[in-house]
Structure 1
């Protein structure tokens, strides 16, 4: 997911120039550009993606708190505080604060603060899915299952899926059907408490279930590729690097790759396209032997490579992920026939 802090040298705003200006403003300690770019945001998908990126960046400072102090009735400021508070919980959780008694108490306080921020963001803003996405994201950090809404039974007849925050996903879906971030958050929440099936099986089953009824041009068609990259990473870490290429040529994998490229990439909206999705698709295409299609996706990525999934590649250490990216990009470009100039009779 894109909620973790961006690596150095990586632009989290991608091609969104207005968002980039707001990110730079936040890093300088100001909030006016953030306020302005959110006021000019016209669609729910763009609202979701922009608040997510801004939340990751602003979680490192007190910029949103300053905005909220100046404009306590601002709905945008409340939503951004929910984003920031949630991101701080997730970052603490991923640093294993729960395993340290003293830090576990701090994590509990952060969780309570984030849940309250989500409630405040929802007040007077019932149509906004983002506060519900934040609630859904918090389920990942509820390792002990203390909150009942985080372990509800799955939809009827879905026996392969574990209990999880299904009600929260439903609330998001009611406001913004097939919201990209929400379904990724749900996958992460289910994997946090996968039961006897294990993380990989849960990720794969949830992705397969989602794709079975997602719109034919939805970015959710990439969920199976995220699951496959995770399996690739686990095999690499467990010493199975020799068999990694076979993973990408399996029939179910190549079918998922084709569906994602033809269904989503061909019809995507460049203004709301996730750079992370493009990078995952390029990685899968290159691994699966779809060099011509991969070259198209690399062209769409341009200068906006993301560390994941390239840092999970077995060819280079994780801090040299750009080498894996460039190696695949060059190889796929070279596979294309050269365009020759001149006149033809």
Structure 2
């Protein structure tokens, strides 16, 4: 008898169950007096508790704040900063919210968002997260790379080898951002080989190659036809080997966005025709698919399921 396979889990919070539960708890409901009506504690208290529990895990803090900024009802953050105007966590969340929406609202909004980022940085002097919000704002506003580097440096000085910081700079240096292919690839290679053993930064060259393929596919049809050839280059094999030996096969604990990195690695391994290694990556991924980089293929979910099921032996039974 055929059994229905469990659905894929495609969600911004990835495998962070406390974050997922917080978002569920604060999802807007049909209440006459707005979110939080009838509550004995402020609507923002679960968010504050989650960020307090995150502590100085800067990697997970950046992930949680970024997802909360996109997924929370706006009223939660607004009430938090209104109730606690000097709360560092509230300011960091507000910095991410304003940095995301300000570029579409004009110059005055951008200036306010910049000031909010700097206020958050003063309130949380050891935290790299406000600087990541400012870096994202600068990227959205097409600020030149040379002006963004000092902001990136502020983040990595506070948290060396911070995964999100390196991926934000990679995005900046991408030809789809404000850079060029040689700069992007050189940055990724240097970072990967300087990163400590077990750091997910070792995957950065593979992520850069995915970004290169995305760039090529966004160009002419002829360029898109040749995109798959990028994975057959000798250097691509070296990049994958580096990710495997210096991160994937180490005893490092899973980081906050490991699901994203595992999807990138599994995608690269399927493109490079390395089924044994890809099977191991898919085993760790499980049901947690990310839209990117599978959206570089036709029918992303179907492609993900096909490769995962073929390589790990999953079948309908």
Unmatched segments (≥5 aa) in structure 1: 1-7, 98-105, 152-162, 336-345
Aligned partner of 2:22 in structure 1 is 22
Aligned partner of 2:50 in structure 1 is 37
How far apart are the structure 1 equivalents of 2:224 and 2:157?
Answer: 42
For 1:192-238, what per-residue CA distance to the aligned partner results, in whole angstroms no more than 9, with x for missing partners? Answer: 332xxxx3333222212222312232111222112211222233342
Aligned partner of 1:156 in structure 2 is none
Aligned partner of 1:331 in structure 2 is 310
How far apart are the structure 1 equivalents of 2:167 and 2:24?
Answer: 27
* Cα contact 1:190–1:202 (8 A) shared by 2: yes
**When the two structures are aligned, how many residues end up with a matched partner?**
288
How far apart are the structure 2 equivalents of 1:40 and 1:123?
Answer: 21
Aligned partner of 1:75 in structure 2 is 88
Change in 2 beyond 3 A, CA 1:289/1:9: closer
Change in 2 beyond 3 A, CA 1:266/1:212: closer
Q: What TM-score results when the alignment is normalised by the length of structure 2? A: 0.83
Deviation at 1:56, TM superposition (A): 2.3
Q: Which has the higher contact order (CA 8 A, sep 6+)?
A: 2
Q: Does 1:176 find its partner at 2:159?
A: yes
Aligned partner of 1:155 in structure 2 is none
Aligned partner of 1:142 in structure 2 is 141
How far apart are the structure 2 equivalents of 1:202 and 1:323?
Answer: 34
How far apart are the structure 1 equivalents of 2:271 and 2:9?
Answer: 25
Q: How does 1:184-203 map to 2 (within 5 A)?
A: 184-191=167-174, 192-194=177-179, 199-203=180-184
Q: How does 1:216-295 map to 2 (within 5 A)?
A: 216-237=197-218, 238-239=220-221, 240-267=223-250, 268-270=252-254, 272-295=256-279
Unmatched segments (≥5 aa) in structure 2: 1-7, 29-34, 36-42
For 1:19-63, what per-residue CA distance to the aligned partner results, in whole angstroms no more than 9, with x for missing partners? Answer: 1111223432543221111111132222222112212223x6232
How far apart are the structure 1 equivalents of 2:312 and 2:283?
Answer: 9
Aligned partner of 1:301 in structure 2 is 285
How far apart are the structure 2 equivalents of 1:171 and 1:236?
Answer: 34
Q: What TM-score results when the alignment is normalised by the length of structure 1? A: 0.77
